């Protein structure tokens, strides 16, 4: 009888653990990608820290042809997120009252991914964290590094003149 109680307790424990893990994974999120470095997550506007992506209307030039690099950055982010859950490490608010955060899918940084793909830049004004990923993309001519482009912060300045 003692072995049967131990087996029953073990079975209940395993079943309970499986239930709680499954319930945690079934949580849904409302995600809307605004641009390459901004999302709405369950109604909260989140701006990725430490990176800057091209603006949606921004274009780059590849082999003499305009490339919608701002839209491409957004589409790469949408594809990377897919149907996965996002977790974010929040770090405060910016001047526009957006939450500043580094966000992750399956434990991988979305910011790191975008910079390494060449569709985001290490925003050195605020962080040095993603410089190695930027160096990798630049040296391998990935994404925008294979095009003529304006850095997003310079593009914004030109648009505001």
- Which tens digits make up the pLDDT trace of 38-93? 999 999 999 999 999 999 999 999 999 999 999 999 999 999 999 999 999 999 99
Q: Is the pLDDT of residue 14 over 80?
A: no
Among 69, 77, 85, which Cα is nearest to 48's?
77
Cα–Cα dist 65/78, whole Å: 24
Burial of 80 (0-12, 13-18, 19+ CB in 10 A): middle
Among 77, 98, 97, 95, which Cα is nearest to 86's?
77
The first and second tokens of residue 72, run together, are 């491409």
The first and second tokens of residue 9, run together, are 């307790």
Gyration radius of the chain's alpha carbons = 21
88, 81 Cβ separation under 8 angstroms: no
CATH architecture group of domain 29-155: Beta Barrel (2.40)
Choice between 20 and 154, residue whose per-residue pLDDT is larger: 154
Q: How confident is the model at residue 25 (pLDDT cuts 50, 70, 90)?
A: very low
What's the mean pLDDT in 141-154?
A: 97
8 phi and psi angles, rounded to 5 deg: -65, -45
- Give me the pLDDT at residue 3, please: 52
Whole-model pTM: value is: 0.81
- Give me the pLDDT at residue 55, please: 97
């Amino acid at each position: 009888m003692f072995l049967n109680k131990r087996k029953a307790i073990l079975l209940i424990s395993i079943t309970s653990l499986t239930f709680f893990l499954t319930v945690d994974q079934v949580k849904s999120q409302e995600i809307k990608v605004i641009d390459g470095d901004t999302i709405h997550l369950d109604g909260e506007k989140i701006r990725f820290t430490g990176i800057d992506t091209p603006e949606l209307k921004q274009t780059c030039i590849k082999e003499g042809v305009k490339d919608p690099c701002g839209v491409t950055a957004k589409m790469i982010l949408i594809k990377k997120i897919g149907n996965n859950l996002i977790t974010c490490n929040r770090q405060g608010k910016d001047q526009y009252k957006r939450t500043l955060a580094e966000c992750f899918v399956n434990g991988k940084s979305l910011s790191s991914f975008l910079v390494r793909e060449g569709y985001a830049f290490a925003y050195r004004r605020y962080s040095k964290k993603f410089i190695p990923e930027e160096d990798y993309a630049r040296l391998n001519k990935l994404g925008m590094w294979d095009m003529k482009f304006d850095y997003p912060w310079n593009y914004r300045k030109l648009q505001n003149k």
